[in-house]
Amino acid sequence: MVKNLSFSYSKLGMYKECPQKYKFRYVHMLPEKPKYYFAFGSALHGVMEYIYDAKNPAFPTLAQALDFFTKNWNATTFEKKGYASLEKEQAGYEEGRRIIEAYYQKHQGSFMHPLSVELKSTLETDGLNLVSILDRIDYLGDGKVMILDYKTGKTVERAPDQLYMYQKVAEMSPLIKSLVQQTDPSVQNIKVEKLCFYHLPTLKEMYFERADDKQIVEFWHGVLAVADDIRAGKFSPTPGENQCRWCDYRNICPVFTGKEYTGPSGYGARFMAPVADVPPAQPAPAAQPKTVQEDLSDKIDRCGAAFSEYERLKKEIIAIMEAQHFTQHFGVNYQAQLKTKPRMDFKDKQKVVDLLRSLNLLKKTLVPTQTTVEALLQDPSIPEGQKAQISALGQKVEMTDLELKKTE
């Protein structure tokens, strides 16, 4: 059975920025250095969560919010936050306080408890385990919600594609539906009515209309294309002045070293050093025992990386065996056999979309791809008559798959 690829909007962003960088981070599992802007953003997100926490019936005062911010801010050193000096960290702290004060001045009189804050959603769809953290969801009544995402960087204006992803996640998430039903038990469907980026440094709110089906489909095709490239092992670097200047992996990047990175020993072990001045390797500090969560995250990522490699090799093996007209071949420990199996091929995608919409089945999939439409045909909750209508739009074709067995 094909395993889902763990994916998120930030992983998508990193792959688009540079596939080789994604490979260093998520295939080789090399962490990046702490970044001050992440620490700053995380501190302000923490304050927003504290303000709107549904567990507290009364909203905290400005003094309490500032205390909360200060306590969290002081829990780590400036180096761990990624600041270059104590002075820069202090400037970040002052800016954080200024933002919180301005936020209270603007909103204190109209605080309302949202449906959720910092809600982590994991949605399995289209071969992906899509992980999203929805900063804030407000309930507007009649099953309608507004999704709000806080921004803390320098860029104020931005494209709404991240919100498009959250819109589809929110409308498919059983967790969000159950939260709404706690307030409004008669609600059967969730509809995202409004989308908003809230830029905290300027207190600017940017509202967007909900994306229509066409926008979601276009966006999601882009996501699935990236996921396919990751599974196929496509990690060619896309160097550029901006991304390479701040990239932590310059010292091991093939663009700068002229050779492929081969693992954590040798020159690769020193990747965190400045590119122009690589110091001699230092003895490694004693390893801290991992928490259960860290250990689990490691295993999940290693498993995902192994799966990507498996998918890539499988494609190569099938291509070679087909070119050589082999149906079976042997390694030292495994034997490979090509198998053909029938599947449905839908040439006219638009007709499929139109039919699924008319049958009210479009919500069962983010995008009607080959795989997801085939899954609908196996879904026992869909009436046989509807399945027959869908099947009539496709034709049966043979596809080749690879079966691997351990040799005796």
Give the interface with ligand SF4 as residue ranges (CB under 6 A): 18, 20-21, 237, 239, 243-244, 247, 249-250, 253, 255
Give me 10's structure tokens.
């930030």
Give me 48's structure tokens.
């927003």
Shortest Å distance, C-beta 22 to ligand SF4: 9
Q: Is 160 exposed, middle or buried (0-12, 13-18, 19+ CB in 10 A)?
A: buried
Shortest Å distance, C-beta 250 to ligand SF4: 4
**Between residues 24 and 93, which has the closer beta carbon with respect to ligand SF4?**
24
**Between residues 18 and 352, which has the closer beta carbon with respect to ligand SF4?**
18
Contacts 24+ apart (CB under 8 A), 122-125: 123/169, 123/172, 123/173, 124/4, 125/172, 125/365, 125/366, 125/372
**Between residues 305 and 359, which has the closer beta carbon with respect to ligand SF4?**
305
The 10 Å Cβ neighbour count of residue 327 is 13
The 10 Å Cβ neighbour count of residue 222 is 13
DSSP state letters, 264-287: SSGGGGGTTS-TT--PPPPPPPPP
Closest CA to 307 of 129, 169, 165: 129
Q: Is 94 exposed, middle or buried (0-12, 13-18, 19+ CB in 10 A)?
A: exposed
**Between residues 4 and 243, which has the closer beta carbon with respect to ligand SF4?**
243
**Between residues 46 and 239, which has the closer beta carbon with respect to ligand SF4?**
239
**Between residues 246 and 326, which has the closer beta carbon with respect to ligand SF4?**
246
Shortest Å distance, C-beta 12 to ligand SF4: 16
Contact status, residue 147 vs residue 134, Cβ threshold 8 Å: yes
Shortest Å distance, C-beta 275 to ligand SF4: 9
**Between residues 32 and 95, which has the closer beta carbon with respect to ligand SF4?**
32
Contact status, residue 78 vs residue 89, Cβ threshold 8 Å: yes
- The two most distant CA atoms of the chain are separated, in Å, by 75
Shortest Å distance, C-beta 237 to ligand SF4: 4
C-alpha dist (Å) from residue 113 to 48, 133, 138, 195: 12, 18, 8, 18
**Between residues 253 and 390, which has the closer beta carbon with respect to ligand SF4?**
253
Shortest Å distance, C-beta 32 to ligand SF4: 10
Contact status, residue 35 vs residue 82, Cβ threshold 8 Å: yes
Shortest Å distance, C-beta 239 to ligand SF4: 4
**Between residues 52 and 249, which has the closer beta carbon with respect to ligand SF4?**
249
User: In the beta sheet, which residues pair with residue 146?
Assistant: 138, 194
Shortest Å distance, C-beta 41 to ligand SF4: 21
Shortest Å distance, C-beta 227 to ligand SF4: 19
**Between residues 12 and 180, which has the closer beta carbon with respect to ligand SF4?**
12
What beta strand segments (E) does 65-177 contain?
Answer: 116-125, 128-141, 144-151
Shortest Å distance, C-beta 13 to ligand SF4: 13
User: In the beta sheet, which residues pair with residue 122?
Assistant: 131
φ, ψ of residue 246 to 5 degrees: the values are -105, 10
Closest CA to 69 of 35, 33, 105, 99: 99
